[in-house]
Amino acid sequence: MKKRIRLKGKIRTYLLFSIYLGVLLLVVNAGILVLDYRAGILLGFFTVFYFAVTLSLYFYNKPVIMNELISFATQYGQIQKRLLRELELPYALLDDSGKVVWTNQAFESVIHQPKGYSKSIMSLFPSITKDRLPNGEDVEETQYELSYEGKEYIAKFRKISLKEMAENSDMIQADGYNGYLIAAYLFDETALQIALQEVDDQSLAVGLLYLDNYEEALESVEEVRRSLLIALIDRKVNKYISALDGIVKKMEKDKYLIVMRKRSVAQLQESRFDLLEDVKTVNIGNEMAVTISIGIGLNGLTYAQCYEFARNAIDLALGRGGDQAVIKTPESVTYYGGKSQQVEKNTRVKARVKAHALKEIIAGKDKVIIMGHRLADVDSFGASVGIYRIAQALARKAYIVLNDVSNTLQPVVDLFRNNPEYDEDMIISGSQALEIAGSNAVLVVVDVNKPSITECPDLLRECKSIVVLDHHRQGTETIENATLSYVEPYASSACEMVSEILQYTSDNIKIRTEEADCMYSGIMIDTNNFMSKTGVRTFEAAAFLRRNGADVTRVRKMFREDAGDYKAKADAVSQAEIYRQAFAISVCTGEDVQSPTVVGAQAANELLNIRGIKASFVLTEYQGKIYVSARSIDEVNVQIIMERLGGGGHMSIAGCQLEGVGMAEAIGNLKSTIDTMLEEGAI
């Protein structure tokens, strides 16, 4: 049977409407015949004529209408295709694997490819991967930001199912077919991004600039020339900030407030804050160069928040020893400079004030819990013993938190364990300390200011009264809400700081021989036998301990090395790689060594004796982590290198802990960090 094309829907109803009226006319004609047969006959002739004309027009116009409809559909499809092809919005069709099937002219102009381009979308835009395309039943549409040839786009991908089309097709068998196409749109937002960036560049940045050594620098120059020195510094600072279209206002004799655009801060970052070095060139006979610290707050929700960020940033800069710039945003903290050694302050006023404050805090509590850093060293334990003696002098019960005792620390700990002069519970574990902690206990944290690496971080949450005594430069992570914080980066060791505090706590305080030996050991180890980071106050602290019974011979005997440790250290030194002719990198295996991290640190110190070495790094794998010991003399700031790897420390003594990486990857990360910082000029 021959199949014909039939009309349906509203157009069929429209064409049949005249026939429906003819049927109605027949019904009316029948009614008129009943009333008046002559009128009915006349109307009947008209009805026959009506049907003849209507049917002839219907059968004549039907093929004409069909042809017109087909012609219109063809032209409409061409118009649609042309409109889509010439659409100004870049548009493309992809198959389910991401391969380009069809593109319009706008898309072709974006990718600079001719019509018929059929490679994968991933080859055009590397940031688009297969998993970023809509490929699941629940993911119908995805959207991403995209950069291409200096322009910014929003790329949208929409899934177009072909299941229904395939099922209704007479050309293919499509049982269970779930194929789809992906429609890709590119929305050019370059102008919007430029406008937003312009607004962001014009946003307010607040800065604080402090002179680190104002008093010391003035004392090093003749009195009649002091005003000239300050005037030259003022002129240098004002000229520099004015060149950046900023405003600087002197608040105090050694403090400045800076207001500038965010764009100007970017210029400062590009020059790596060369003002830090520029100020040092001011010299009118002063023996000591003036150094400055800068703190800048950015991206705050309000101007007040930007100022608060600036205050936090300057506190960080000063806490890290000064001579550096710190930029703080809600998301991050960035450091610049910090290449100068800290200047030891001759005055002990600060130590005396902190000692009296510590005395008041301890006297107001019943118990004192003393905690150092994880994997405690001699300096950490020695400082803890010094605080223990202060607590005993004030008739307060004191505990030292110590979880693990290394082979190096064991001889020092043995001086106190099983010693009838000391309580059996003098040294406790972290879990025992948590049971003791409470509102009537003060927690004293020594030799560390980073909460995550303390011996028991949970204690920081349990104790409301916290005291921090440390000589390491502060980083982004610090112990918050401390009742008393005494962080002095110039100090050689925590034992030096505690030794000074001991002298101001009580006039007749008596330090036992074991305690003096322990604290003297801490100073000796942290200064590498008084060869690094030593100053006048370091030797004064050592002399104080010697007067109280510390014996150099006993200390030296305590720290003689085992044969295995000595061999491991020698092996690490012998296998060192000289990287970029200035950095010694080695690995300490730690086999048959009880304290491999200590041996690694000693090996790093030994590597500095090689001529031409500016910094040394020894990596040690221990307890599932890789410990990096970094050392330098004065040319390289190893602290900022270790901070890039998540650690910290001093300019010449620093370290970090790496988790989830192998030794080869850790060495690769270290080398790439050194390369990056050399390229940036950071070291």
Q: What DSSP string describes 373-423?
A: BSS--HHHHHHHHHHHHHHHHTT-EEEEE-S---TTTHHHHTTTTT-TTS-
Residues 314, 294: Cα–Cα separation, whole Å: 6
Residues of the chain with pLDDT under 50: 1-3, 171-172, 174, 344
Residue 400, exposed/middle/buried by CB under 10 A (0-12, 13-18, 19+)?
A: buried
Within a 13 Å sphere around the CA of 219, how many CA atoms are in the beta-carbon half?
A: 6
As a dihedral over the C-alpha atoms of residue 325, residue 632, residue 406, residue 669, rounded to 10 degrees, the angle is: 70
* DSSP 3-state of 250: strand
In sequence order, the β-bridge partners of residue 398 are: 368
* DSSP 3-state of 563: helix
Amino acid occupying residue 178: N
0.75 exceeded by pTM? no
**Other C-beta atoms within 10 Å of 614: how many?**
17
At 208 the pLDDT is 94
Residues 322, 313: Cα–Cα separation, whole Å: 11
Q: How many whole angstroms from its chain centre is CA 301?
A: 20
**Tens digits of residue pLDDT in 124-144:** 787 777 777 776 566 677 888
Domains and CATH numbers, the chain: 10-85 (no CATH), 91-196 (3.30.450.20), 223-337 (3.30.70), 349-558 (3.90.1640.10), 563-680 (3.10.310.30)
313 close to 328: Cβ distance less than 8 angstroms:
yes
* DSSP 3-state of 162: coil
Q: How many whole angstroms from its chain centre is CA 213?
A: 31
617 close to 583: Cβ distance less than 8 angstroms:
yes
Residues in the chain: 683
Amino acid occupying residue 130: K
Residues 106, 89: Cα–Cα separation, whole Å: 6
Using the CB atoms, write b or e for 236-273: b if 16+ within 10 Å: bbbebbeebebebeeeeebebbbbbbbbbbeebeeeeb
* DSSP 3-state of 612: coil
**Phi and psi for 577 in degrees, rounded to 5?**
-100, 130
**Tens digits of residue pLDDT in 661-680:** 889 999 999 999 999 988 88
At 480 the pLDDT is 78
Residues 98, 458: Cα–Cα separation, whole Å: 51
**Phi and psi for 464 in degrees, rounded to 5?**
-85, -30
At 464 the pLDDT is 86
177 close to 163: Cβ distance less than 8 angstroms:
yes
